[in-house]
Chain A
Amino acid sequence: MLQQLEGSRAVAETVARCRPEVVCAYPISPQTHIIEAIGAMVKDGRLAPCEFINVESEYAAMSVSIGASAAGARTYTATASQGLLFMIEAVYNAAGLGLPVVMTLANRAIGAPINIWNDHSDAMAVRDAGWIQLFAETNQEAADLHVQAFRLAETLSVPVMVCMDGFILTHAVEAVDLIDQAVVDSFLPPYEPRQVLDPDDPVSIGAMVGPEAFEEVRYLAHLRQLDALELIPEVAEEFAALTGRVSGGLLHPYRLEDADTVIVAMGSVLGTIKDAVDARRGAGERVGVLGVTAFRPFPVAAVADALAGARRVIVVEKAFSLGMGGVLATDVATASPASGHDLATVVAGLGGRPITRRDVEGILERSAQGTLPRLSFLNLDDDVVARERARMAASRRSGPFAENVLRDLATGGAHR
């Protein structure tokens, strides 16, 4: 039954139906509504037997999750941005130990300058940590992905991060069909750990591994990611058979048949891009969209397949590697056939800057005219940048540049 629900509420209700046994989190916008809702459900006994632990930091949140998962509990947490970075050592550790923790990442920019709005910098910062990273396009998909995430995590003994755009999804109210408890129960068997801390069968977990075996251990973890490439679509298909909903999987191709220009993107911006593509299709252009749902493991072969017919590929991404360029774009380039197509990266939506349908159409126009550079920044205010560069050149003590830019904007460029 469709209900008007905030994205965070939809996720919380869905996680609840996954019957977590330990939930531990530390508040950070835009993740707060999710854990507040789950916390309340645990407190009023609705989720019993489930423990909700209020901790003193994200580092503790992930560490508690590690202990709980190693002791055999189905474990959930959520964070964003600075919180993810604060727990990063434990994020790697959870994956290294093969613990199937599920975490929602309410994608948000990383400071400095501090910024609470959406982009994908946080997810990109842990792309090599060994977690499966799935990106939700809508609130419906965000909710559904959590059920699939527990299934994937526990089958493979790999932690899974469900990435959903902060505010744009977490705080948006839209129609969501919450999954029935009975469906979740049939889809998600009780967690049977591969390794568990048990006094009746004591094992040592977390030993030092030297050069004699480290490579093999890491390679085995890589193989589990490759296994995930097989399992993710299977799980999504099974989910679709039960619910009738297409959520998850590796990729979301849209109007790719005969497309010679394809935009690749992740997350909620896909909706906007699809609208733009519909409009251009209406004008007779052969354009399409490739939504990447599974960013880790990255579906190299499937992406190569999907882009095989394209002449121009444009990666629109909400993050970039400073001094280099696109992150998703680099992976897409790896997947692109050697003969290749033109590949352009458009960095967009940083720190919550809106990406409109008109913006996307503009990108497509420039691409068609051959004026889209290899790397560009959407709606970058070149004048502001030039003025700050000038201030820096004029004075050694030009001051903090973020604050200069804000003052510059407030004074319409009059700030010296």
Chain B
Amino acid sequence: MTETRVHFYQVGSFAVGNRLLSDADRTVQASRERTNSLDSGHRACQGCGEALGARYALDAAMRATGGRLVAVNATGCLEVFSTPFPETSWRIAWLHSLFGNAPAVATGVAAALRAKGRDDVRVVGQAGDGGTVDIGFGALSGMFERNDDVLFICYDNEGYMNTGVQRSAATPPTARTATSEAVGVDPGNVFGQGKDLPRIAMAHDIPYVATATVADLHDLERKVERAMTFHGARYLHVLVPCPLGWGAASADTVRLARLAAESGFFPVFEAEHGVVTGVRRIRRRVGVEEYLRPQRRFAHLFSGPGRPDLVARLQALADANVERYGLAPQEE
């Protein structure tokens, strides 16, 4: 039999048009049955990666559960911009309690459903990086350790955006935030030890851990659906660029997310029961500089003589990711 190589339309993104896919592989967003869980009219900034990620993730979760879903939200941009009452963008059952307790509240919802014999209804907890990596960390670890039946999604925009762009433990080194200003000998955020939550989640041996970005929304949807095939604690860490906090153009959200992955700065992978089962390999490797330059939060690395020493250290972080997860592009 002769083999025909299919040439996909190249749009610089490696995206494949939905029409070329089988029905089962098409995106949830492309379906007219999507729920619009986070509906239009919310007050997010133009180009908000968090709004984009949440919409895709929750619609995918709704499809995976047949609409039997309850969402618990931490305080943060997503919570504030989605519920400017009397309007709400949520078309799903949704509860916001506090900034640091969303994992535990989600546990409570799951426990109540179990007690009531409602095993058809599933629970999603969601928070920003602050609500996940910092203030909600203890509650999240507790939820993991107990293996409660909750999918927790972190929308990581690498800072406390809702309160005006302050540093979180997920803010990358050198990034300027309102509490890590680009002044002094070591401008921007310090080089700490990092707080790699996906790996910390994996250390709990929970059934499923994955990272994703809003550059590959189909991958995000697939991971949500995969997560929903498991019971127990699951964790999804989604990189969601924030035009306001990052000092980037609204139109660049998806491009920046892609560059974060293609530079190796944000590794995209998934793991089951503590073991990495898949990585999204880099297609066309770029240096971190290409990712950093369009963002004003890194402007001090490139103005005047610049800080090539710091850029080199950031590159080393990306290289370490590529090494750790085997992200290097596949030889053609």
Contact = CB atoms under 8 A, between A and B. Distances in A.
A94 to B, nearest CB: 9
Q: Among B67, B72, B91, B106, find the residue whose CB has the most chain A CB atoms closer than 10 A.
A: B72
B116 A49 contact: yes
Contacts of A50: 115
Interface string A83-125: 0000001100100010000000000000000000000000000
19 contacts: A53-B108, A56-B138, A57-B138, A66-B97, A67-B97, A67-B106, A71-B108, A72-B112, A72-B116, A73-B115, A75-B108, A75-B112, A89-B101, A197-B94, A201-B93, A204-B88, A207-B96, A208-B83, A208-B85
Interface string B104-124: 111111111111110001000
Contacts of B109: 67-68, 70-71, 197
Contacts of B100: 59, 89
A334 interface: no
Contact of B112 (A55, A63, A71, A203): A71
A246 to B, nearest CB: 34
Contact of B115 (A21, A67, A89): A21
A59 B85 contact: no
Interface string B31-68: 00000000000000000000000000000000000011
A199 interface: yes
A67 B112 contact: yes
Contacts of A205: 94-96
A56 B141 contact: yes
Contacts of B104: 55, 59-60, 63-64, 67
Contacts of A60: 101, 104, 107, 138-139, 142
Contact of B83 (A51, A69, A207): A207
Contacts of B138: 56-57, 59-60
Given A55-B107, A202-B91, A204-B85, 7 more contacts: A22-B112, A69-B108, A89-B100, A198-B93, A205-B94, A205-B96, A207-B88
A350 B56 CA distance: 56
A203 B91 CA distance: 8
Interface string B226-267: 000000000000000000000000000000000000000000
Contacts of A54: 146
B139 A51 contact: no
B325 interface: no
Give the interface size bracket for B toward A: 35 or more
Contacts of A209: 85
A206 interface: yes
Interface string B129-148: 00000000011011001100
A60 B105 CA distance: 8
Contacts of A138: none
Given A68-B111, A73-B116, A199-B67, A204 B101 contact: no
A336 interface: no
Nearest to A61: B104
B93 A199 contact: yes
A22 B146 contact: no
Given A197-B70, A207-B96, A68 B83 contact: no
A68 B116 contact: no
Q: Among B80, B100, B109, B121, find the residue whose CB has the most chain A CB atoms closer than 10 A.
A: B109
Contacts of B105: 63-64, 66-67, 70
Contacts of A198: 93
B310 to A, nearest CB: 37
A65 interface: yes
Given A63-B108, A199-B92, A53 B98 contact: no
Given A22-B115, A54-B146, A90 B108 contact: no
A49 to B, nearest CB: 5
Tell me what chain B mostly uses at the interface: helix, strand, loop, or mixed. Answer: mixed
Instruction: Give the 5 A-B residue pairs with the shortest CB-CB distance, closest first.
Output: A67-B108, A206-B96, A63-B104, A56-B142, A73-B112
Contact of B93 (A51, A75, A90, A202): A202
B111 A49 contact: no
A78 interface: no
Contact of A202 (B83, B94, B142): B94
A207 B92 CA distance: 14
A56 B80 CA distance: 28
A277 to B, nearest CB: 45
Contacts of B90: 202, 204
B95 A51 contact: no
B275 interface: no
Nearest to A203: B93
Contacts of A208: 79-80, 83-85
A404 B106 CA distance: 47
Q: Among A21, A70, A97, find the residue whose CB has the most chain B CB atoms closer than 10 A.
A: A70
B279 interface: no
Contacts of A201: 93
Nearest to A204: B88
A50 B141 CA distance: 23
A303 interface: no
Nearest to B62: A199
A337 B14 CA distance: 80
Nearest to A206: B96
Contacts of B113: 71
A191 B326 CA distance: 54
Q: Among A56, A65, A197, A198, find the residue whose CB has the most chain B CB atoms closer than 10 A.
A: A197
Contacts of A53: 107-108, 111, 146
Contacts of A73: 111-112, 115-116
Given A70-B109, A71-B109, A49 B117 contact: yes
Nearest to A89: B98
Nearest to B86: A207
A291 to B, nearest CB: 35
B116 A65 contact: no
A313 interface: no
A213 to B, nearest CB: 8
B69 interface: yes
A24 interface: yes
A55 B107 CA distance: 10
Given A197-B93, A208-B83, A57 B142 contact: yes
A213 B139 CA distance: 31
Q: Among A56, A69, A93, A207, find the residue whose CB has the most chain B CB atoms closer than 10 A.
A: A207
B101 A59 contact: yes
A202 B124 CA distance: 14
Contacts of A56: 138-139, 141-142, 145
Nearest to B80: A208
Given A71-B113, A199-B68, A199-B69, A206 B93 contact: no
B326 to A, nearest CB: 34
Given A57-B138, A206-B97, A64 B80 contact: no
